[in-house]
Chain A
Amino acid sequence: MRLLIVEDDGETAEYLARALGELGHIVQVSGDGQDALFQATETVFDAIILDRMLPLINGMEILARLRAVGLMTPVLMLTALGSLDNRVEGLEAGADDYLVKPFAIVELNARLNALMRRPPILDDPSVICVGDLEINLLQRQVRRRGRIIILQPREFMLLSELMRNANRIVTRTMLLERVWDYRFDPKTNIVETHISRLRTKLNSGFDTDLIVTVRGAGYMISECN
């Protein structure tokens, strides 16, 4: 993936560039808003990682200008620890995702990958298949090898989030945000428990487990285990 990192703190930028490079991305770094605007319009990137607080032109302003010139590159906004209002502000300004510093690289990578799967203009497909598992998002129906599996609404949401990101890691935080709309991290293992129940329902009568637990990162649904 070709990435542009806009971050004024040299140490953070360097760390991000190295870590994302190790994960196989091609990374370019920009230290201020003016330069970022230039680079973003000059080169085609798959995604832009944009710090909210920047000298000269702040992240929100850059985002607004990019969108104003019709550049629809997915933008993941980074912000310092704290205010919830910032997140809403960022999403309303047209950011595709939002991550609070400090964060784990796996989290950032998972979110970048998730951004890639949604072309901003195309609608979600109504039916997604992974191996012998099939989910119909419109009819809210799940079948495995043709057999209907009854899920609770929350389990359905959990599964559809995993299915939409099939073969990509979905982190615990992403699931909390997208399935439960929780913007904080409960100490209780609610994600683990619900995944485990979902797993039991999906696997009963079958001998392959489609949900993979990626230690220290999250979960992934995949046909090839």
Chain B
Amino acid sequence: MNATRIRLRSIRSIATIYGITFALVTASFGVAVYITTERALRQQVDERLAAEMRTMLDWPHAPTLSGITSRIAQREQKSITSDIGYLLVDRSGRHIAGKVSMLLPSVGYSDLDYRDGIEGIDHGRALMTKLPSGEKLVLVADSESVEEFNQLLLQIVGVAFGATIVIGVVGGLALSGIIRRRIQGINLAAEAIIGGDLHRRMPIDGSDSEFDRQSATLNRMLDRIDELMLNLKQVSSDIAHDLRTPLARLRHRLEGALSPHFTIAAVQTELRAGLTQVDDLLDLFAALLRISEVEAGERRAGFGELQLDMLVRDIADTFAPAIEDDGRTLEFECCEPIPMRGDKELLIQLIVNLLENAARHTPIGSAIRITLYCSDECATLIVADNGIGIGDADQMILRRRFARLENSRSTPGHGLGLSLVDAVARLHDGEVRLENGDPGLKVTVRLPLKSSLPTIALRQHDRRAV
């Protein structure tokens, strides 16, 4: 049952069913036309006979028998009534007038064919009327043209039916062939990708057809997967690389502390330093976990209403003293309330990361400026400094995990800050842009006030008021 249904859904059977249905509709249409036309034509002959009969017997007044005879003779001469034959017989069936000779039909209409032996009529109609005086008048008419027309009509319908079937079958096969080929192309590409050719893409012929658009969508999906896989690969190797160095250092330290020449106090110093190194590593893991948590999108459950302007002002107030103590200045500018939906904790971390980046990678004496404004249903946060800035080529690098520019190798940090900023912005359906501030670096974060991505249903336990 199920198998049948699936088979019926194949392209070829859909085309066949469509062809057969189309042919049947054409055929029944032909039959309907045939029947209607045939009936209409026959009726026309009958009406002509009836009209002629009225003319013979009633017009302008009922004629005598000799009058009828002369009318018959008269009308048989005329070409206008040449398609009608006349026969008048007396009460006992003897011939009185008219050229037609035939066996007398019954009163009323009847069909004629070649067996009636009337000269020139293979198919016809007869109308017989009994006169009041007992004579019988028979009118016959040829319906050959009707038959011929019917024949013609049958032929036309037949040919049309045949043509429909041929067109249907050929068209169906061609259509299913085309579709099959396109699907085969997609299948082949998919098989190749499954087989390991990860850079293979769905075929596109540039026609902008439905198939092309579908292929393009599939290709975009494949690109995204490719990007994610590349990211994953890079992250794993980066983690391995970034962890090995501090772990090796830690090992040296522990090994050194085991030396018999170390005093207890020296060992304790070494251990304390080792502990700091371990804490740094744990920080790195926490940051990594946080990024993957954010990227998995699970945090959308934590979205709530918040006042972005107040959030940023609060952070600026909190950080300004520390930044000023370090010899830099921090300014914050925002003159409107900006209510939005978002994850408060993550947004705090985004802002803090940008602020700390600016504070850490600029020379002493630099000015950091945070600007926040709202336009087009979008909040724009700009963190700009007048430090040394970065080159264009470095802008892409910075977003990657563990990305650290050569000249910042010596400053503390693990290169995950901007990755987290990027991930948090994307979680909020926003974007991050790094630009040259001339001088310095200008980071622009745009966050839609109402995220358009569907919000994951709030979990029961997550009724946090933000």
| Chain A residues proximal to chain B, CB less than 8 Å | 81-85, 88-89, 92, 102, 152, 154, 180, 182-190, 192-194, 197
Residues of B within 8 A of A83 (CB): 289, 293
Complex Cα distance, B322 from A180, in Å, reads 15
B289 touches A81 (CB 8 A): yes
Contact, CB under 8 Å: A154 / B345: no
Are the CB atoms of A185 and B319 closer together than 8 Å?
no
Residues in B whose Cβ lies below 8 Å from that of A180 = 318
Pair B464/A88 contact, Cβ less than 8 Å: yes
Contacts of B299 in A (CB 8 A): 84-85
B321→A194 contact, CB < 8 A = yes
Known: A184-B286, A186-B319, A188-B352. 12 other contacts (CB 8 A): A81-B282, A84-B299, A84-B345, A85-B301, A88-B461, A154-B317, A183-B345, A184-B349, A186-B356, A187-B413, A188-B356, A189-B322
Measured in the bound complex, the distance between the Cα atoms of B282 and A83 in whole Å is 14
Residue pairs across A and B with Cβ atoms less than 8 A apart, 9 shown, are A81-B282, A82-B289, A84-B293, A84-B345, A154-B317, A188-B322, A190-B322, A192-B322, A197-B321
A residues within 8 A CB of B325? 193
B333 at the interface (CB under 8 A from A): no
| Nearest CB of chain B from residue A125's CB, rounded to whole Å | 27
A220 to chain B, nearest CB (A): 21
> Which residues 201-220 of B have a CB within 8 angstroms of A?
none
**Complex interface residues of chain B between 89 and 137 (CB less than 8 A to chain A):** none
Given contacts A154-B318, A193-B322, contact A185 B283 (CB under 8 A): yes
Q: For A85, give its contact among B302, B317, B323, B348 (CB under 8 Å).
A: B302
A81 to B287, CA, bound (A): 10
Please provide the 3 A-B residue pairs with the shortest distance between their CB atoms, ordered closest to farther: A193-B322, A193-B321, A82-B289
Q: In chain A, what residue has the closest Cβ to B272?
A: A216
Residues of B within 8 A of A (CB): 282-283, 285-286, 289-290, 293, 298-299, 301-302, 317-319, 321-323, 325, 345, 348-349, 352, 355-356, 359-360, 412-413, 461-462, 464
**Chain B, Cβ-Cβ closest to A152:** B317
- Complex Cα distance, B97 from A5, in Å, reads 135
Closest to B318 in A: A190
**Inter-chain contacts of A183 with B (CB < 8 A):** 345
Is A81 touching B285 in the complex (CB atoms < 8 A)? yes
- A183, B322: Cα distance in complex, Å: 19
Closest residue to B463 on the A side, CB-wise?
A92
**B304 to nearest A CB, angstroms?**
12
- Least CB separation from A189: chain B residue: B322
Known contacts A83-B293, A88-B461; is A187 also within 8 Å of B322 by CB? no
A179 to chain B minimum Cβ distance, whole angstroms, is 9
Query: Of B283, B286, B298, B359, which one neighbours A188 at CB under 8 angstroms?
Result: B359
Which residues does chain A contribute within 8 Å of B322, judged by CB atoms? Answer: 188-190, 192-193
A2 shortest CB reach to chain B, Å: 29
List of A residues within 8 angstroms of B355 by Cβ: 188
Q: Give the complex CA separation of A88 and B343 in angstroms.
A: 14
Chain B: which residue is nearest A216 at the CB level?
Answer: B272
Query: With a CB–CB cut-off of 8 A, which chain A residues contact B413?
Result: 187
Residue of B nearest to A82 (CB): B289
Closest chain A residue, CB of each to CB of B321: A193
Nearest CB on A from B462, distance (A): 7
**A1-B197 Cα distance, complex, nearest whole Å:** 64
Distance to closest chain A CB from B186 (angstroms): 39
**Residues A92 and B461 in contact, CB atoms below 8 Å apart:** yes
Residue contact B464 to A188, C-beta cutoff 8 Å = no
